[in-house]
Chains A and B, each alone.
Chain A
């Protein structure tokens, strides 16, 4: 009866080396469209590395070798005709430490538009509308509408992280990658970002790396457990926590290691 499950990201036999060190081993996984998927596992298990493969931002270091296939919305992103610029427009990323650029709030939000759109299509009206829409979506508009000229690096950390999400939205990405987006935030900030993730769910596929198991449990629909560069299992979050399919997952969840 139900419609066929749609996947946003599919990897096939993905291997990745940093120099001689193999960080990902034959990772084959499907990530469902429009849901929030957590990547969990102990430090050094390759979850951040996997996340950074999805927009190929890993490759800025010259010593990275990747083999295998990643299909985003059906297209292999390692095909030679793939434009990195277009890929990164479609796949936004939020980092561990909020990293707004040292320019105004306004310019941060329109930064993506400015670099992807020819200048004559960007009238004042278009930009203003984009800023209001994006900031409203992340719940910053009321707080910041009178402070758009302020330097973004002077905001509170929570606002900075929301702004980092807001600046992705004008580009209408399909996928948003989040690399421990709450690790620099306090409880309130974490809650705010999680609520924002729920707001964005459905329209965007969200993949989040987290160290915080409670967060994975609270905030995600599906979980992927990784260990030493290998993918152990992917399941619905409830299933993974209540009834893990692998003994290593069970032990990790119980806190035996990690």
Chain B
């Protein structure tokens, strides 16, 4: 057996598969292989989503067949007594409301703040400040959520108790602010990308017509970048809904439908994180926690779908 030396144009005469002249076989096979690997990477996202959904749903499914369990109660009751000896209740409404309240407050703070920051970074500040700000914002995104929770539990708690006179400083307000700070970096960087993607010719058109900087922003750039900006906001919402550790620490962890921002609440995610370790595997409590996972899944899915439809609607216009 001798190795076939790399041949010029004519190639290996006995080659069973036709191939480009002058290209060694390993290159052809390697390319095919690489193509398949890449294809697999692309498809894997679908497999993972389906796999995770199946796994979570399979763990939760038996509870749906249990005679004592009522789906209506699960969705619309505020009574969450999963470990009660005499009156077990699995109502998640308070938790859902808690999640939505904290997310809503977070977005009310983070969206104007994040968009404002993005507009400043993209359109108003000099190149050096821009670089610095971008690095700092990325750094902000890299802070682990447990550190945010820690800040909520210590610093923010004291500040809120002192300034508002609330009896407990860990509440919707605290969680909302912490979540807002956590989603701002995402909103800023995605919105900044969206603004950067607006063709410079639009800016020149506006400037040459005599638009002021601010007119340029709200008459030209915001309309031109609106799909990207919406995507940024929705990613922020997704971040806020899915966040667990920080809200677990900052919201007070009390099952409660809030009537003001100073009420402590508990979120869906925090409930799963806090209780899963103590629920015996295979028990109803354990299964209900997985069902909460399915509920979370559904909420984020609906939000993403709505966003997708809105974006398509905007594009069609």
Contacts and interface: CB of A to CB of B under 8 A. Distances in A.
B128 to A, nearest CB: 11
Contacts of B235: none
B32 to A, nearest CB: 41
B209 A88 contact: yes
B204 A57 contact: yes
Given A93-B208, A101-B205, A115 B223 contact: no
A98 to B, nearest CB: 9
A95 B209 contact: no
A57 B210 contact: no
B215 interface: yes
Nearest to B201: A99
Interface in B143-165: none
A102 B228 CA distance: 15
A72 interface: no
Interface residues of B, number: 20
B224 A62 contact: no
Contacts of B208: 55, 57, 88, 92-93, 95
B211 interface: yes
Given A101-B224, A115-B219, A95 B201 contact: yes
Contacts of A168: 209
From A99, A103, A112, residue with most partner B Cβ within 10 Å? A99
Contacts of A97: 201
B205 A102 contact: no
Contacts of B224: 101-102
B165 to A, nearest CB: 44
Contact of A99 (B127, B205, B210): B205
Contacts of B210: 84-89, 112, 115-116, 171
A164 B205 CA distance: 9
Interface residues of A, number: 28
B135 interface: no
A191 B212 CA distance: 34
Contacts of A256: none
B212 A85 contact: yes
A47 to B, nearest CB: 17
B293 interface: no
B207 interface: yes
Contacts, number: 62
A86 B212 CA distance: 11
B11 interface: no
Nearest to B212: A85
A119 to B, nearest CB: 12
Given A62-B126, A102-B223, A115 B209 contact: yes
A111 interface: yes
A115 B211 contact: yes
Contacts of B220: 101
Contact of B204 (A89, A99, A100, A114): A99
A256 B224 CA distance: 45
B209 A167 contact: yes
A102 B212 CA distance: 18
Contact of B205 (A60, A87, A95, A114): A95
B210 to A, nearest CB: 4
B201 A112 contact: no
Interface string A54-97: 01010010100000000000000000000011111100110101
Contacts of B209: 88-89, 92, 111-112, 115, 167-168, 171
A116 B210 CA distance: 8
Interface string B240-261: 0000000000000000000000
Interface in A167-188: 167-168, 171
Interface string A103-120: 100000001101110000
B212 A111 contact: no
Given A62-B126, A101-B224, A103-B223, A95 B204 contact: yes
B82 interface: no
A73 B307 CA distance: 53
Task: From A95, A102, A116, A171, name the one whose CB has the most chain B CB atoms within 10 angstroms.
Answer: A102
Contacts of B205: 95, 99-101, 164
The 8 A-B pairs at the shortest CB distance, nearest first, are namely A88-B210, A99-B201, A93-B208, A85-B210, A89-B210, A99-B205, A112-B209, A115-B215
Given A112-B210, A115-B210, A115-B219, 7 more contacts: A55-B208, A57-B207, A86-B210, A99-B199, A102-B224, A167-B209, A168-B209
13 contacts: A55-B208, A60-B204, A85-B212, A88-B207, A92-B208, A97-B201, A99-B205, A101-B206, A101-B220, A111-B206, A115-B212, A167-B209, A168-B209
